Amino acid sequence: MYPPPVNKEDSVLNVDQAAKPSDSMIRGLNDIPDAWPELPANSSLSAEIGWVQANRLRIVEEKPGHATVVRLDLALSPSPSWAALGWLETSIRSYAKYVDVAAKATASDNGEAEVWRRERMAIEEVKALLDEMRAEG
């Protein structure tokens, strides 16, 4: 009924293991440069993914057996949001998942472009109607 006894050696973390960086450690992700403005929680997914795509190769240094180092100060521009930094972390920890999300975000960009195109056409139609009304009056 009682849990089995725990081997003390199994429950103690080896100090050498704790001090040694591992592949899963990421350093610098929270070191926001002073020059950056206050980051909002979220922005559009396409802006967040676009920022990661534009900056990842510049700011992420991955070395096998060592912690991954993120140098946000080397980014081309400030992050559009905290969520973009989350996507950057996802791109480091699970690149396949990030690529899947990036593909979907890029696909939805085409839909956003279509919405903007329709909005511009509607605005042009309203302007044309106003011009007609002015000409008649």
Altogether, the residues listed in the chain come to a count of 137
pLDDT digits (tens, 9 = 90+) for 38-52: 999 999 998 999 999
What is the pTM assigned to this prediction? 0.63
pLDDT at 6 over 60: no
CB atoms within 10 A of CB 23: 14
CB atoms within 10 A of CB 126: 10
Among 3-7, 59-63, 96-100, the minimum mean pLDDT is found in 3-7
| Per-residue pLDDT, 104 | 85
Specify the DSSP class assigned to residue 38: P
* Strand pairing category for 68-70 and 60-61: antiparallel
pLDDT digits (tens, 9 = 90+) for 55-81: 999 999 998 889 999 999 999 999 999
Helix (H, G, I), strand (E, B) or coil at 41: coil
Q: Which residue has the tokens 């009304």?
A: 133
